[in-house]
Structure 1
């Protein structure tokens, strides 16, 4: 049976990666999965969306590995029992969901180490989106209504969290050419051209 073609998108914060994903989903008429994966994982684990979100693509994931889910609340992992840490539960559940969705139909996955999770069993187009710092900062200031200092701090914090999350789960360097099939600089190419290229690649593989 022919494997579904999946587009996975890694991205620097403020680069426009999510917008590229949304435009591709509209043009190709396929679903896009991003933060809704957190809600799906939370539902399967029987925990709140807020609880799952604290360990999704964040630096807190490592800290919260010292905790487990017990009756929907955090319980200190001190008994020595071999209970899987919360961060690992969320990641594994989210990974299982990503695989099931990829089996169901072609789609776009934004973040969540989807390139690593799907690479062996699916026909993947893996892209990493980045942009010049000044362009990212202007975008973040506009979208989140922040001043320059706030935007810089948010960019630095979010990228650090994404980098740690990706590298902890994949053993690869986040944003490197060794880790991704293609790197696209939005500042040089523009969002429209990147969407055109990825859409053409997707259709060529159908």
Structure 2
């Protein structure tokens, strides 16, 4: 990453932090509850001279100290720049919460409809800030970083630790509220409403920030030459169930003498995500069903993508592995959104293939080769393809099987797999010759 790109990304991150701080002020002004991580500072500010922003700074500094204690001297020293980066972010975030609260002194909705409207506006602004923070992709806010440290220290899943962390903050704020205010403040229906809608709005906004890609990525001289020298050629094969994509990949592997990755990725992903191999094998193409649990207690200033369910953690782990493999060796990768994950791979170093066929041919292949139950094979194919469509769209926001996303669309029902193998091999050899 160049200095220019780094500067631009941190500038975008700072803007997102300020937007998030403003949105928290708007949501708080709705008087329907605030976020779990903001609930403690908010409650403390109600019965003491310090402001919500000041308590936010104090609490986050305590979080940083706790991070250092849990990480130990060696790890804390290695991560010192990440830890130090949290200090100015915390100061800016806390200060701008107070600035925003003061600027919104006039915002005092009295009717419930006005409060709901204010809450919804705040949620949209919050989603805007979160999506920009995700786009910047350079730092984590203090609360999220602490959860990451605790998860590593306890060897528990990030999502589980996140829920426990948020629940603890809510309990602390409720305790302070009951003891000093004789009622529960800061945690109401607005907390749940915001958590339910901020995530979907954020995911809706994320694709639109692709317009910032060219601005964020500063051009470097002779980029194509550098990339061609750095990256080996990778063949990705996406496939409909029963189209023979896996068999085609194995044929290519033998003909070209390059590695083939399919189920091998499961073992690697298990090590990366610390999830059981059996879970990965059963769930790697399913959209997360417990994602809602984690965003219900999601703190507003953190990127939604940081609070990972098991399914999301699996996708992140496989994405990292696929990028690492693609950067090191020439290979064939089957499925797993590899064509999208490697979208920034140089065009001269990747061949994207999509295999499809008609339903009757898929049924025949599944019955003859995979020994599927003839009575259930048709419904199994339809169900599996629907799962792959949902999985791909959920994580890429793009249409699975869209011809414009691939270099070669192969109808395995109209040509033998061996013929398709020769076609792809020829394309591979042509790319290899061009690079020489």
Q: Report if TM-score (shorter chain) is over 0.5.
A: yes
Query: What is the CA–CA distance in structure 2 between the aligned matches of 1:24 and 1:138, rounded to whole Å?
Result: 22
* Residue 410 (structure 2) aligns with: 184
Question: For 1:146-197, what per-residue CA distance to the aligned partner results, in whole angstroms no more than 9, with x for missing partners?
Answer: 3433110110111111111111111111112123222110111221111001
Equivalent pairs counted in the alignment come to: 196
1:30-179 matched pairs, under 5 angstroms: 30-58=258-286, 61-66=287-292, 79-80=297-298, 83-122=307-346, 123-179=349-405
Cα contact 2:288–2:310 (8 A) shared by 1:
no
Query: What is the CA–CA distance in structure 1 between the aligned matches of 2:293 and 2:283, rounded to whole Å?
Result: 11
Comparing both structures, which one devotes a greater share of its residues to strand? 1
Cα contact 2:234–2:351 (8 A) shared by 1:
yes
Cα distance, 1:188–1:49 mapped onto 2, change above 3 Å: same
Displacement of 1:79 in angstroms is: 5.0
Query: What is the CA–CA distance in structure 2 between the aligned matches of 1:176 and 1:78, rounded to whole Å?
Result: 34
* Residue 124 (structure 2) aligns with: none
TM-score norm. by structure 1 comes to 0.87
Is 1:16 aligned with 2:254?
A: no
TM-score norm. by structure 2 comes to 0.43
1:187 counterpart SS class: coil
Cα distance, 1:174–1:83 mapped onto 2, change above 3 Å: closer
Unmatched runs of 5 consecutive residues or more in structure 1: 69-76
Is 1:198 aligned with 2:424?
A: yes
Comparing both structures, which one devotes a greater share of its residues to helix? 2
Displacement of 1:114 in angstroms is: 0.5
Q: RMSD of aligned C-alpha atoms?
A: 1.9
Q: Bigger radius of gyration, 1 or 2?
A: 2
2:354 counterpart SS class: strand
Specify which structure has the bigger relative contact order, considering alpha-carbon pairs within 8 angstroms and separated by 6 or more residues. 1
Displacement of 1:10 in angstroms is: 0.5
* Residue 166 (structure 2) aligns with: none
